[in-house]
Structure 1
Amino acid sequence: MSRVISAPSAPAEKRIAFRKGLASGKIQRLPGAFSPLVAMQVQQLGFEGVYVSGAVLSADLGLPDIGLTTLTEVAGRGQQIARVIDLPTLIDADTGFGEPMSAARTVTVLEDAGIAGAHFEDQVNPKRCGHLDGKAVVPTGEMVQRIRAAVSARRDPNFVICARTDARALEGLDAAIDRAKAYIDAGADMIFTEALADEAEFEKFRACVAVPLLANMTEFGKSELLSAQTLENLGYNVVIYPVTTLRIAMQAVENGLRTIAETGTQESLLDTMQHRARLYELLQYENYNEFDTGIFNFTVAES
């Protein structure tokens, strides 16, 4: 079925697809999307899902990733992105935007926004980027309450609740594994361990934790960049590339604006641009034309 206005698949169908993907044995590749248009490109190129990064949303709003965004802003962007694609959307829910009760409300709002799953982290509130120094984590028991609250608020059992731990950098790998096990006992469906150093640490974590695992392949951070195939061979279920598309786009924007500032014209940049025809193809202009013609096909009789 062609997409017009929004994607044909209902949120419940996307959540089922995400659950099936996690159980498939094939790694689910989720590039970050900072806009609905980028999400549409992700789908067209054959990826399994889309990720909405809190760091990217903060940056797009001109803010650092230090817990300044709100649930309303995050859910709104997530809904815009999820609406236009048939792929499942996984979103960064930070610390749940407050106390455990806030984490519970976050789940209901994200379900209503059409999201397939969300991850909640064990940093103190407000948080900071997981690859920065100086972050702090809450006691394990406090994060357990956060996860239990999120799970208790879930209405669609296929909505995936992922627990992220930032303890590796602060307490060591073994402590992060212990925390992950406690979060699983609290009801987490999937575990995301931030800032693992190298392949050996990813492998050890997989050996110790039984539920689906998410790997974060962000650039310029503390983790070795491993291929999707390597992660799949290690037994990981999901890989996210949270900031990649934003970094690519912003470097291109900066280079282009410098050229215009220096030369007074964009003519030399034309070969680096997406053509108007390609943009129209991605937006499926033809489908809108067919839809419009099929509805507005009446004539008004003269009185």
Structure 2
Amino acid sequence: MLYAQTSPAEKRRLFRERLASGELLRFPGAFNPLSARLIERKGFDGVYISGAVLSADLGLPDIGLTTLTEVAGRAKQIARMTELPAIVDADTGFGEPMNVARTVQEMEDAGLAALHIEDQVNPKRCGHLDGKQVVDEHTALQRIRAAADARRDENFLIMARTDIRAVEGFEASVDRAKALVDAGADAIFPEAMASLEEFAAMRAAVDVPLLANMTEFGKGELHTAQQLADVGMNIVIWPVSLLRLAMGAAEAGLDELEASGNLVGKLDDMQHRAELYDLIDYEGYNRFDSSVFNFRVAR
């Protein structure tokens, strides 16, 4: 009932343990708190909170228009609803190094297990669009040093995302990843890798956990979880998939409503009311209400 029983500190500790095991952890993207609870129920390892999804939820493109306050607030709502660890996309850190430091502490306070900071120029753009620009190495390393220095919980994971592959090529991405690790990154998110072989080569080049982004309609191939595990990836995210599925279903439903005047033909595609009530634990709330209000005052 209400929120997760596992504390943020314990989620971070357990997440670090799982990462150290070397297994591939699967983190679908949640587009709201309820979808985070569904991700947990379906047996996944964690929840990813995408900046693109948070922007889209506000009706905005993913070009750096969201604020730290908006992202931290929504991330808190999602993270507290599940026992799973949550990773949040913190874009470029929402400003200069001091802003990056504040971002880390805000995300710690919001109950996240990890965040990633990228090396795009500020404001950024979606990692799978053309025309990206990255900052120079000095600026990229400053961001990660500031993030690592600001951390208060040693188990809060600082991940560095590099978008340099699409700008300067794969070898540049390897060099940048190594430098980011030296600057204090606990893990690396190499964005827009062109092939499974590039993931394997990145794995051979760095010795920290690696994240693979399996976003649909992007620059890279959509590999299976098993393929990624076989080349040594540690985390895989499907950042926008659930939002895309939900919006596709919503569009189909509206088309049906316009054409038929009702949704009788879509009932089998819907989550049943009983399933929704079970997911949000109506019965637990009912028991709590009964224990509070159904009592007699002793005389």
* Amino acid paired to 1:99: E
Partner residue of 2:124 out of 110, 127, 143: 127
Which residue in 2 is equivalent to 1:191? 188
The Cα of 1:159 is off from its aligned counterpart by: 0.3
1:173-188 superposed matches below 5 A: 173-188=170-185
Q: Which SS does the other structure have where 1:118 is aligned?
A: strand
Q: Which SS does the other structure have where 2:98 is aligned?
A: helix
Comparing 285-294 with 193-202, greater Cα deviation is found at 285-294
Percent identity of equivalent pairs? 63
Which residue in 2 is equivalent to 1:96? 93
Q: CA–CA distance in 2 between the matches of 1:152 and 1:301?
A: 56
The gaps in structure 1 that reach 5 residues or longer are none
1:218-257 superposed matches below 5 A: 218-257=215-254
Which residue in 1 is equivalent to 2:62? 65
Q: Which SS does the other structure have where 1:229 is aligned?
A: helix
- What does the per-residue CA deviation read over 1:4-43, in whole Å, with 9 as the maximum and x for residues that have no partner? 1111000001101111111112111000001000000000
The Cα of 1:301 is off from its aligned counterpart by: 7.7
- What does the per-residue CA deviation read over 1:183-242, in whole Å, with 9 as the maximum and x for residues that have no partner? 101100000010001111111111111110000000010111111111111111000000
Partner residue of 1:288 out of 267, 271, 285: 285
Which residue in 2 is equivalent to 1:22? 19
- What does the per-residue CA deviation read over 1:259-299, in whole Å, with 9 as the maximum and x for residues that have no partner? 10111111111111100000001111111122222233323
Comparing 107-116 with 14-23, greater Cα deviation is found at 14-23
* Amino acid paired to 2:117: F
TM-score (norm 1): 0.97
Which residue in 1 is equivalent to 2:150? 153
CA RMSD of aligned residues (A): 1.1
Partner residue of 2:205 out of 203, 208, 211: 208
The Cα of 1:76 is off from its aligned counterpart by: 0.6
TM-score (norm 2): 0.98
Which consecutive aligned stretches of 4+ in structure 1 deviate over 6 angstroms post-superposition? none
Q: Which SS does the other structure have where 2:159 is aligned?
A: strand
- What does the per-residue CA deviation read over 1:60-101, in whole Å, with 9 as the maximum and x for residues that have no partner? 100000000000110011000111100000000000000011
Q: CA–CA distance in 2 between the matches of 1:31 and 1:127?
A: 23
Q: CA–CA distance in 1 between the matches of 2:138 and 2:294?
A: 63
Q: CA–CA distance in 2 between the matches of 1:47 and 1:114?
A: 19
Partner residue of 2:139 out of 129, 132, 142: 142
